[in-house]
Amino acid sequence: MQQVRKPKRAARSEMIAGKPARNRRSAEQMLVELKQRLRELSDLNAASDILNWDQATYMPEGGAGARGRQRATLNRLAHERAIDPALGKLIEYLTRYGESLPYDSDDASLIRVARREYQKKIKIPPDHVERATVHCSASYDAWTRARPANDFATMVPYLERTLDLSRDYSSYFAPYKHVADPHIDHADEGMTAASTRTLFGELKRQLVPMVQAICEQPAADDSSLGQTFAKAAQFDFALHVAECLGYDLKCGRLDLTHHPFCSRFSAGDVRITTRVNENDLGDALFSTLHEAGHAMYEQGISAALDGTPLGQGVSAGVHESQSRLWENVVGRSRGFWEHFYPRLQRIFAEQLSPVPLAAFHRAINKVARSLIRTDADELTYNLHIMLRFDLELKMLEGQLRVRDLPEAWHAAMQADLGIAPSDDRDGCLQDAHWYSGYIGGRFQSYAIGNILSAQFYAAALKAHPDIPHEIVSGEFGTLHTWLRDNLYRHGSKYVPHDLVERATGEAMHMRSYLSYLREKYGALANSAATDQQVVRYLNHPA
Amino acid sequence: MQQVRKPKRAARSEMIAGKPARNRRSAEQMLVELKQRLRELSDLNAASDILNWDQATYMPEGGAGARGRQRATLNRLAHERAIDPALGKLIEYLTRYGESLPYDSDDASLIRVARREYQKKIKIPPDHVERATVHCSASYDAWTRARPANDFATMVPYLERTLDLSRDYSSYFAPYKHVADPHIDHADEGMTAASTRTLFGELKRQLVPMVQAICEQPAADDSSLGQTFAKAAQFDFALHVAECLGYDLKCGRLDLTHHPFCSRFSAGDVRITTRVNENDLGDALFSTLHEAGHAMYEQGISAALDGTPLGQGVSAGVHESQSRLWENVVGRSRGFWEHFYPRLQRIFAEQLSPVPLAAFHRAINKVARSLIRTDADELTYNLHIMLRFDLELKMLEGQLRVRDLPEAWHAAMQADLGIAPSDDRDGCLQDAHWYSGYIGGRFQSYAIGNILSAQFYAAALKAHPDIPHEIVSGEFGTLHTWLRDNLYRHGSKYVPHDLVERATGEAMHMRSYLSYLREKYGALANSAATDQQVVRYLNHPA
């Protein structure tokens, strides 16, 4: 029966391809057309991202109005193409051909992923995309002024409109169990509000007593990081470290912005941004390592996948796992600073020569209940995330009005972290996310990333137990190569849970993360105790 | 008869507008649709220009390949829209309505200019646009490496292809009197190879004896400009001066590049670029003033014209008139430096305190037969232009093969300027133009701009004789306002010769330019003579 049908399918394929050919060739011709269409789409998206990068780095303020419109036009044209019925037909014709190829092959994966994206995107009306883009651009622009002015009132109408647009987005994917589900699935395919709540419930149960125990000890002294450090030297050092990790500057660069981000324009152009605070040595340094982690993921994707939907990181959570792996698991480890601290001490001799390595290592790993997510330590960071996740779910559910957000923020901070901001600048105005995009699905990825960062690192260590010693020598090639071979190069070929299992041999779990935290903070507590004994000995010699 | 026809036209208009309305409303609705279509086109062009700016300023080298493709996609989409038959019909329906409005009104001008552009663009096949964009991007990229390597051989196949593409372009506008005419008309509407040759014949006749006479005098000493000047301080000073002239940094910025240019992304975002040479004080300074002149023209265009074909300078020649007016007529004048030189001397105290104003003024106006167009003085600059104009005409005519260009360049330099480059880096590889776009119509605008710069300045002076005194006080408002009111704000409303007549009361002529040159170089010769007497007196006191 299938044999008999074949000529018929061939005939349909030939119609698409525009000239007669054997069935196999015809599918290949269609594949060429599919790739052309997807590349055009990728070009439009890249152009929009370049306009966004420019807006966040160098654009003069007078450009803001037109820039919103320009990006909206590009996004609308891209969306029109992404939902073009001719593209849908091409994918439909190619589906069976794709299934005949090895699952892992570039072409099978391309057809599979293009089909999934197409079926998702046709649900979103093009005029919604344009309205959302224009609105988010204007909102982000307003936020860049409102945050320093501590002016939440100005942002209320923006956020209310964002909330409406976010609910509209969800409605296109109805039915769903929770209004946030389409947003969460968009960021972290396969996750839902319910599964994330379960995960976060367990994470919170484990973290709260750890934070409690650490905060009962004397706090680490991080005053050494709060001295005055020349901005240019901080910038240069951060860039140097990113390059040492493996961030390729022939295909990337570092620039200044309000809120650091990483942006991929092509396989050969993946850029990161940072901000520099003269009185916080950690700000530029760790935000650069964080974004370099994202960028190394993007730079490591097989060049053959460039210009297709496979040529990008697979999910926000897996992406965050890489930023957090390089920023925290590697970048805040003792071994890492055994290599880099002498150089940092040379650069900032006056400020850091009185600060021994152990004290510096404790300072950059200080656990404290603090106000700002991006400044938070690895442990309490998760509490910041879970708080935001709860609040955005409540806003989407209609249980929390936008105008009541500052109060709800205050109460949640008090309950979860035991402190609360005195203004909105350090409260609900601090993150760009809700002011530059949808409300919903924006924050859970950070905690998922933390969990996965340790799971990936543990798997790399299992394969190459020498990695910690290499890090002490400033060598990151083995780790980088393992990550590239097992994660990066695949781009979006596999859905997140499949990728995690292929790379680590297990589904996502919390064990590696919790034992990583226990081991690290246990060692830090011992180091502090030892040093205190030393100090006592020095003050009162036997 | 016209009265009777009206209802019929109304009915057709209503069909376009999509719902019944009175004739007048219907035309207005069509006008709204026309503006929407043109704005989308403007957004795509702006996006392409932003990608180009990024490529020439900050893009890492790895991005070059994809960037060419990305711009090609944008340009193809823009061109598809620019030649959309639906746009043509809309313009056709609106033409009579436009003619019923005052000629000077924004709407009448918009319909008139949109019609002209449409009729021009439908002659160019979309695939030509894409091929030309991809090729020019690759060629420019190759040139950025070939020039420092003095490697003309690498560029030969690129240039040959460019020449083919340039002839293809002309062929779409056949019949023409000269193969370069479509290119020249594109840059300087109304001009042809023949009219430009006539103009340049006269200019050369006048200039050659002037250059001869000046070069027989002792050359001005410009060694003071060749000392070592810190790059950052040069950059800052150039930006400061541009801002004093009236370049608005809230709607603009200055960045570094290989080959300086000005780019408009919207009314609120008009950027300039420069290059800084540690051993040439004039390079960054005058290229910045040059680009600031272009930018002030673009910034001065009525904001109401933004996002339409009227929202840009009218022609390359008129544009150059503004860069040259601010760079040379103002920026190399004695009065200008009476104001700015003390500041420059403070910044570079060690280098410039021994150099009196008069000597500095002579140095920046030194006339010498030199190799590099962009470094040339005002007088010989025109000879460089005319040489290029001749060579590109010969290449287009097929009288000069690409591979013979270095030799022809050498011979022409020897004949016209009396010197010749020892390598191609300082010869036919020096300008980006042929390596980043068509061959043809690329250079004549500079000499036209020189001629017009003096004509516009003379007209402004006639209206406001105090302008030279204001310049001595560092005040540029009167001149800037006159230029904005008489030139800038009109954008592309009027064809170049109409604009010139409206602003100056006369057709383009050479009298103002020649008397400006005679007056300036006469005064400089006298100043040199006087100083020489002073020097003699100092050496041999009476």
Q: Which of B54, B251, B255 sits opposite A50 (nearest CB)?
A: B54
Tell me what pLDDT residue B20 has: 43
Whether residue B192 has pLDDT greater than 80? yes
Tell me the two tokens of residue B149. 């390597």
Give how far A48 is from chain B: nearest CA, Å.
8
What is the chain A residue with the closest CA to B53?
A54
What is the chain A residue with the closest CA to B303?
A66
Closest CA to A453 of A485, A477, A487: A487
Bridge pairing between strands B262-266 and B269-274: antiparallel
Does B47 sit within 8 Å of A70, measured CB to CB? yes
The one-letter amino acid at A312 = Q
Tell me what pLDDT residue A259 has: 86
Whether residue B10 has pLDDT greater than 70? no
Omega of the bond leading into A175 within 30 degrees of 0 (cis): yes
B174-178, B208-212, B534-538: which is most confident:
B174-178
Whether residue B288 has pLDDT greater than 90? yes
Q: With bands split at pLDDT 50, 70 and 90, how would you rate the model's confidence at B526?
A: confident
Q: With bands split at pLDDT 50, 70 and 90, how would you rate the model's confidence at B463?
A: very high
Q: Which residue has the higher pLDDT, B126 or B506?
A: B506
Chain B positions in Cβ-Cβ contact with residue A249 (cut-off 8 Å): 60
Mutate to test the interface with B, among A265, A271, A305 (most CBs of B within 10 A): A265
Report the complex ipTM: 0.88
Q: Is B284 helix (H, G, I), strand (E, B) or coil?
A: helix
Catalytic: which of B14, B189, B291, B327?
B291
C-alpha to C-alpha distance for A239 and A276, rounded to whole angstroms: 12
* A89-98, B83-92, B133-142, B375-384: least confident range: B133-142
Does A69 sit within 8 Å of B47, measured CB to CB? no
Does B50 sit within 8 Å of A307, measured CB to CB? no
Taking residues B289-298, report their average pLDDT: 98
Tell me the two tokens of residue B103. 């000629």
What is the chain B residue with the closest CA to A269?
B63
b/e per residue, A82-112, with b = 16+ CB within 10 A? bbeeebbebbebbeebbeebeeeebbbbbbb
CB-CB contact of A252 with A299 (8 Å):
yes
Does A43 sit within 8 Å of B70, measured CB to CB? yes
Whether residue B535 has pLDDT greater than 60? no
Residue A205 touches partner B, C-beta closer than 8 Å? no
* A67-81, A320-334, A401-415, B7-21: least confident range: B7-21
Whether residue A534 has pLDDT greater than 90? no
Taking residues B385-405, report their average pLDDT: 98
Does B60 sit within 8 Å of A269, measured CB to CB? yes
Q: Which helix (H) or strand (E) holds A262?
A: strand A262-266
Tell me what pLDDT residue A129 has: 84
The three-state DSSP-derived secondary structure of A363-404 is HHCCCCCCCCHHHCCHHHHHHHHHHHHHHHHHHHHCCCCHHH
Residues of B (388-417) whose Cβ lies below 8 Å from A: none
pLDDT tens digits, one per residue of B61-85: 999 989 989 998 999 899 999 999 9
Tell me what pLDDT residue B14 has: 38
CB-CB contact of A451 with A513 (8 Å):
yes
Q: With bands split at pLDDT 50, 70 and 90, how would you rate the model's confidence at B22?
A: very low
Does B249 sit within 8 Å of A60, measured CB to CB? yes
Question: Locate tokens 């360049």: which residue?
Answer: B409
Tell me what pLDDT residue A398 has: 97
Q: Which sign does the torsion angle of CA A101, A106, A111, A112 carry?
A: positive
Residue B498 touches partner A, C-beta closer than 8 Å? no
What is the chain A residue with the closest CA to B264?
A63
CB-CB contact of A394 with A400 (8 Å):
yes
C-alpha to C-alpha distance for A29 and A9, rounded to whole angstroms: 14
Does B61 sit within 8 Å of A250, measured CB to CB? yes
C-alpha to C-alpha distance for B56 and A420, rounded to whole angstroms: 47
Tell me what pLDDT residue A533 has: 60
Residue B134 touches partner A, C-beta closer than 8 Å? no
b/e per residue, B235-248, with b = 16+ CB within 10 A? bebbbebbebbbbb
Tell me what pLDDT residue A24 has: 53
pLDDT tens digits, one per residue of B215-243: 999 999 999 999 999 999 999 999 999 99
Q: Which of A39, A63, A251 sits opposite B265 (nearest CB)?
A: A63
Bridge pairing between strands A262-266 and A269-274: antiparallel
Whether residue B516 has pLDDT greater than 90? yes
Percent of chain A with pLDDT over 70: 93
Taking residues B281-291, report their average pLDDT: 96
Taking residues A331-341, report their average pLDDT: 98
Tell me what pLDDT residue A526 has: 84
Catalytic: which of A14, A189, A291, A378?
A291
CA distances from B295 to A80, B273, B289, B478 (A): 35, 10, 10, 18
Residue B50 touches partner A, C-beta closer than 8 Å? yes
Taking residues B352-373, report their average pLDDT: 96
Whether residue B5 has pLDDT greater than 50? no
Q: Which helix (H) or strand (E) holds A19?
A: none
Taking residues A336-353, report their average pLDDT: 98
CB-CB contact of A527 with A358 (8 Å):
yes
Does A46 sit within 8 Å of B74, measured CB to CB? no
Q: With bands split at pLDDT 50, 70 and 90, how would you rate the model's confidence at A16?
A: very low
Tell me what pLDDT residue A397 has: 97
Does B44 sit within 8 Å of A250, measured CB to CB? no
Tell me what pLDDT residue A430 has: 95
Compute, in degrees rounded to 10, the torsion defined by CA atoms A509, A512, A515, A517: -100
Longest dimension (CA), chain B: 96
Q: Which of A74, A77, A268 sits opposite B62 (nearest CB)?
A: A268
Establish whether B291 is a catalytic residue: yes
